[in-house]
Amino acid sequence: MFFAIIALLLTPTFASAEIKVSPPPNWQPAPNNNSTSMVWFQNSTKSVIGIKKAPDILSFPLFLAGPFVTQFLADKGVLESADQVTFGHSNSGYRYFLNLSSPSKLLDSFSGLPQIGSFLPTIPEGYDVPYKGMLILTQKQGDLYAIVLLSPNENFDSMANQIKPTLDSIELINS
């Protein structure tokens, strides 16, 4: 399921949904951002935030997906904590805080998914420090969305505070 979540952020979607958000200031947008998939990088801290609508094939009801992902992440030994969160324009969902290995080990574990290379290109291969992550799963009008923040442990709290206005600006629209 963890691989499915990362793949979710990386696979193209062809949907009538739209994500409206105020980008985080001083973060570099990915060149392929569109209305259903957005990623921003902050090179100085080696951090990344992404918002993605799940492909229709991965759209499970949130009340099923949330607890399943919680158990999966706990079984993998990466779950620090989980709770429910409300944010943005009437959005709510499950939030997971994760303790992750170094970027190179993270990339190695996803070697079967070629899209990963496009997700973390700004994190140098030799920058092997522990990362912390935040994953939010939310659902709007039947469509499942994932919001991910990845940052080295030392920067995570300040990055989470820095992107709070971005999270509060998220509006998920289905047409």
CATH of the structural domain 2-174, one choice from 3.10.20.600, 3.40.50.2300, 3.40.1000.10, 3.40.640.10: 3.40.1000.10
Does 110 have pLDDT greater than 70? no
pLDDT in tens, 35-44: 888 989 888 8
pLDDT, position 122: 45
How many whole angstroms separate alpha carbon 59 and alpha carbon 57? 6
Residue 127 has what pLDDT?
A: 56
pLDDT classification of 103: cutoffs 50, 70, 90: low
8 A C-beta contact, residue 37 and residue 142:
no
Q: Is the pLDDT of residue 158 over 90?
A: yes
Strand pairing of 37-42 and 28-29? antiparallel
Q: What is the pLDDT of residue 120?
A: 46
